[in-house]
Amino acid sequence: MNPRFLAPAIDPGAAPAPSLDAGSAPSHLQLRRVAIDTYRENVAYLHRDCDLYRVEGFQALAKVEVSVNGQRILATLNVTSDPRIVQRHELGLSQDAFEQLGVPAGRAVAVRQAEPAPSISALHRKINGERLGREDFQAIIRDIAEHRYSKIELSAFVVATNRGELDREEVFFLTEAMIASGRRVDWQERLVVDKHCIGGIPGNRTSMLVVPIVAAHGLVCPKTSSRAITSPAGTADTMEVLADVELPFERLGDIVRAHRACLAWGGTAHLSPADDILISVERPLSLDSPGQMVASILSKKVAAGSNHLVLDIPIGPTAKVRSMPEAQRLRRLFEYVAHRLGLSLDVVITDGRQPVGNGVGPVLEARDVMMVLENHPLAPQDLRQKSLRLAGRLLECDPDIRGGDGYAIARDILDSGRALEKMRAIIEAQGARPFDHQRPKVGALSFEVRAPSSGVVTQIDNLCIARLAQLAGAPKVQGAGVDLARKLGEPVTQGDLLYRVHAAYRSDLEFARQASEQHCGYTVGRPEDVPHVFVEF
């Protein structure tokens, strides 16, 4: 429906025009890298008085296709009159776009107006509330993975498939399409296991314990994680305190074959790439609907080659899921889609009333994890217990382990030091951080928050503690975060330390201090005010 705007600048009175290919009007410009980070949106820059194209009918939101030697990418067009950005004979590409195209600057590239994404009519049907079929989702997700959707169209898709807009078979179609959009790994193993938590609980770094435990037992567990999306630390951010996590995918394969496991960032693996693009829109909108969550998590796991997954759904007053009926609805949706995908899934509903462990932020969480692995007497027991229970459930997918025996086996592996040994092997294999002054430390600046009255801790607000850690600089400032001194149900006397906030920069500390003065995140009251949740663990 958009008017064409990009056509060769041929004056009718001038020399005869070159003949045109059927349906296209390519010509050549010189490629230039424009050092602007436009964040997952490819942008092409053209000079307003471009030698080859007239851009007067310019529609800035339209897409162009840039091609060279059969390689092609799609980009949004921005027009500039500054020759320092691009000259009249050049076509500029933003950083990511330049790297996607993958040819050196100076090469001759062809530009043409991109055809509208073929799936736009399916998007319109979804916006109008219709149910979509398998082919529709395949077409939409293929277009998204090929960067054919603008941010506006991505946002429209995310909102049109939000809460209640997808039935469970549509969620399966979406998941399946997302798997097909990228690489699908085959480990050539009968059992490939993984664990995942739907998120929302600060400090909850059980993966860094479960993975070495089950790998020490011999199960294959190729764990690739995201960085923090809305939280103060993701598993990849915390693991990065100890080891390199940005590894070429081929090296991950070698590490997994040698050690049965890895703990790396998933960004290099091209697993469910459409999911990464959708997340770039879901995050600023703070949208995280059940259907999108299920498709995102299960597509990544199946693409990574897992066939057995333990999934942790925490519930609590400030968790993502706040009631048991909601958790059960979500469990059924996960189970339905996993079954259709042939993925064996074990859902565990857990206690999400407060952060897990003491530290919140990459360095503090890495400290907690290492204390548990080292069987340190002051290691946080809640993190230890939850990790052992999740590892136990995962071990029970081994047909040689009897139902109910997993926990004890996991505990033996941890207590014996075999988990620590496995973790050290993984750290070495990925590339250990040097143990010197360059190793990230807890932020040097800090302030303390103390109990305003005496009683017991009746609430610790997950959202508030996460926000304080973020204000203090986490996850980008690795040593920033919150270190909890009291947990739910513990008695406190007025003036007792509740938690300490660490930062590396004065301004960050002040932002966190101001926020904590408004909402400290703790409530002190009577023992009977501690909320109960009825969960497995």
Pair 94, 42: CB distance under 8 Å: yes
Considering only residues 45 through 104, tell me which ones interact with its own copies, judged by CB under 8 A: 45, 48, 54, 56-58, 60-62, 78-82, 84-85
Whether residue 377 is preceded by a cis peptide bond, meaning omega within 30 degrees of 0, is no
Question: In a 10 Å sphere around its CB, with 0-12 CB exposed, 13-18 middle and 19+ buried, how is residue 296 labelled?
Answer: buried
The window from 39-47, 211-219, 243-251, 409-417 that contacts its own copies (CB under 8 A) reads: 39-47
Q: What whole-number distance in Å separates Cα of residue 412 and Cα of residue 402?
A: 16
- To the nearest whole angstrom, how small is the minimum distance from the Cβ of residue 273 to its own copies? 18
How many residues belong to the site for its own copies (CB under 8 A)? 83
DSSP reduced 3-state for 281:
helix
The window from 175-183, 200-208, 240-248, 507-515 that contacts its own copies (CB under 8 A) reads: 507-515
- To the nearest whole angstrom, how small is the minimum distance from the Cβ of residue 471 to its own copies? 6
- To the nearest whole angstrom, how small is the minimum distance from the Cβ of residue 39 to its own copies? 3
Smaller CB separation from its own copies, 8 or 431: 8
- Does residue number 2 form part of the binding site for its own copies (CB under 8 A)? yes
Considering only residues 353 through 392, tell me which ones interact with its own copies, judged by CB under 8 A: none
Closest C-alpha among 395, 398, 427 to residue 412: 395
Could you confirm whether 496 is annotated as catalytic? no
Kindly name the residue from 143, 237, 288, 368 that is annotated as catalytic. 288
Smaller CB separation from its own copies, 56 or 135: 56
HEC per residue, 119-141: CHHHHHHHHCCCCCCHHHHHHHH
HEC per residue, 352-410: CCCCCCCEECHHHHHHHHHHHHCCCCCCCHHHHHHHHHHHHHHHCCCCCCCCCCHHHHH
- Does residue number 517 form part of the binding site for its own copies (CB under 8 A)? no
Smaller CB separation from its own copies, 159 or 191: 159
- Does residue number 281 form part of the binding site for its own copies (CB under 8 A)? yes
Within 13 Å of residue 404, how many CA atoms lie on the same side as its CB?
A: 0
- Does residue number 487 form part of the binding site for its own copies (CB under 8 A)? no
- To the nearest whole angstrom, how small is the minimum distance from the Cβ of residue 227 to its own copies? 11
Give the dihedral sign, CA 96/102/106/112: negative
188 CB neighbour count, 10 Å cutoff: 9
**Contact with its own copies (CB under 8 A): which of 164, 325, 342, 403?**
164
Structure token digits, residue 388: 């052992």
Considering only residues 420 through 439, tell me which ones interact with its own copies, judged by CB under 8 A: none
Binding pattern for the stretch 308-347 against its own copies, x by CB under 8 A and - elsewhere: ----------------------------------------
Smaller CB separation from its own copies, 348 or 515: 515
The set of residues, in sequence order, having a beta carbon less than 8 Å from that of 15 and lying 6+ positions away, is: none
Considering only residues 210 through 239, tell me which ones interact with its own copies, judged by CB under 8 A: 228, 230, 232
Give the residue numbers annotated as catalytic, written as ranges.
288
